[in-house]
Copies of this chain bind each other. A is one copy, B any other.
Amino acid sequence: MTKMLNAGILGASGYTGAELIRLLDQHPHVALRALGAHSNAGQAAQAVFPHLPDDIPMLQKLEDMPLADLDVLFAGLPHGTTGNILPELLQQYPGLRIIDLSADFRLDDPNIYQEAYDAPHPAPEMLGEGIYGLSEIYADSIADARLVACPGCYCTAANLSLIPLLQNKLIQSQDIIIDAKSGTSGAGRAAKTNLLFTEVNQGLNAYSIGKHRHMWEIEQELGKAAGATLKVSFTPHLVPINRGILSTSYVHLAEGKTVNDLHIALQEFYAEAAFVRVLELEQSPKTQNVFGSNNTEIALFPDRIEGRAIILCAIDNLLKGASGQAVQNMNIMFNFPETTGLNRIALYP
């Protein structure tokens, strides 16, 4: 019989925390042992999330958590805070492996962190220590990692759909335009006027144009794939749905390449990927099709402007874009089948 992993979550009172609780609770090889929260410490998990059963561990302060007993810790803390805390934990608990959902260990370059987060990196000596947790791309390194830095939600959608094309020199690395649309759970659970139901419902808008923090992370990973520094145009939009990201990317084909070449390359790249479905050419993805699952839909269309292609990608931002990918990475790290405990069929409708 498989040994049960002892797991904990830091930052359990946010949406990614709630989603991790759900996933770890249904995972056959995990015992959820401890939940960390700051302002809600001392409360039952159910007090913060009434949909949770009453046998879920209480929320505790970090210092009260039984970290020495844990095999794996998921960290859903704010950026900045994360960089201060995790290095110490890694040192103090040599048996602990950490799967981080914050931004602090995603970027390699402290200058770019400074640009993106408008603050110095809290632990620059640690940069490069974390493995970037885009499961389909870095599975080999993730398997052995002590610290995995799960990608941002927008980055997962953009990068999964573009990396194979850049690696294979099928599209040009310059002039990539990414128009992304997201549901509101990505904005978190803090009470803000602009996130009220009445303000979001029935509406649609772009935000953080040209300065969203995920832009730098997209550029880092696409740059690695292309083997060259690059800049992308990235425009996120807020859409009145709870979950779901759709990225629509506009690219130039590489000299002599066709949309068919791209399609074949994507199909081959993801032939064995349990959670990525490359749709038929000119079939349109829907976020509905991945809602509540860890799935990714990638689609490819010729553009009316010659020499261009349009690449779409749909994920559930709380699953493949956050907590689902985190659990997928845990499966890789602990040598479980990658799909264990993860829904492969969307909740529809």
A185 contact set on B, CB distance < 8 A: 198, 349
Indicate if the CB atoms of A348 and B51 lie closer than 8 Å. yes
**A196 to chain B: which residues have CB within 8 Å?**
184, 189, 191-192, 195-197
Identity of the chain B residue whose Cβ is nearest the Cβ of A241 in the assembled complex: B202
Segment among A74-82, A97-105, A137-145, A283-291 that sits at the interface with chain B:
A283-291
In the assembly, how many copies of this chain are there? 4
Q: Is A179 an interface residue (CB 8 A)?
A: yes
Which residues in B have their C-beta under 8 angstroms from that of A343?
A: 26
B285 touching A233, Cβ below 8 Å: no
A235 interface contact, C-beta 8 A: yes
What residues on B are CB-neighbors of A349 within 8 Å? 15, 18, 185, 198-199, 201-202, 242-243
Contacts of A303 in B (CB 8 A): 210, 233
Restricting to A183-212, which residues have a CB under 8 Å from any CB of B? 183-185, 189-193, 195-207, 209-210
In the bound complex, residues from chain B placing their C-beta under 8 Å from that of A49 are 348
Q: Report which residue of A183, A302, A314, A349 has the largest number of chain B beta carbons within 10 angstroms of its beta carbon.
A: A349
9 contacts between A and B (CB under 8 A): A22-B345, A177-B250, A179-B248, A190-B193, A202-B242, A206-B246, A206-B284, A215-B304, A231-B306
Query: Is A261's CB within 8 Å of the partner chain B?
Result: no
Kindly provide the distance from the CB of A315 to the nearest chain B CB, expressed in whole angstroms. Answer: 11
Q: When chains A and B are docked, how far (Å) is the Cα of A248 from the Cα of B340?
A: 39
Chain B hits for A273, CB < 8 A: none
Q: Are A204 and B51 in contact (CB under 8 A)?
A: no
Known: A192-B191, A196-B197, A302-B210. A204 touches B177 (CB 8 A): no
Q: Are A345 and B284 in contact (CB-based, < 8 A)?
A: no
Q: What's the least CB distance linking A188 to chain B, in Å? A: 9
Neighbour of A241 across the interface among B179, B203, B207, CB < 8 A: B203
- Cβ of A347: which chain B residues have Cβ within 8 Å of it? 22, 292, 347
A52 sits at the interface (CB 8 A):
yes
Decide: A286 near B203, CB < 8 A? Known: A233-B305, A242-B198: yes
Contact of A282 with B by CB under 8 A:
yes
Cβ contacts under 8 Å, A109 to chain B: none
Q: Does A50 contact B (CB under 8 A)?
A: yes
How many Å lie between the Cα of A183 and that of B177 in the bound state?
Answer: 23
Q: Mark A246-289, 1 if CB is under 8 A from B, else 0.
A: 10101000000000000000000000000000000010111111
- Residues in B neighbouring A31, C-beta threshold 8 A: none
Within residues 39 to 59 of chain A, which ones have a CB less than 8 A from any CB in chain B? 49-53
Verify if A64 is at the interface (C-beta below 8 Å from B). no
- Which residues of chain B have C-beta atoms less than 8 A from A200's C-beta? 197
CB-defined contacts of A288 to chain B, threshold 8 Å: 51, 199, 202-205
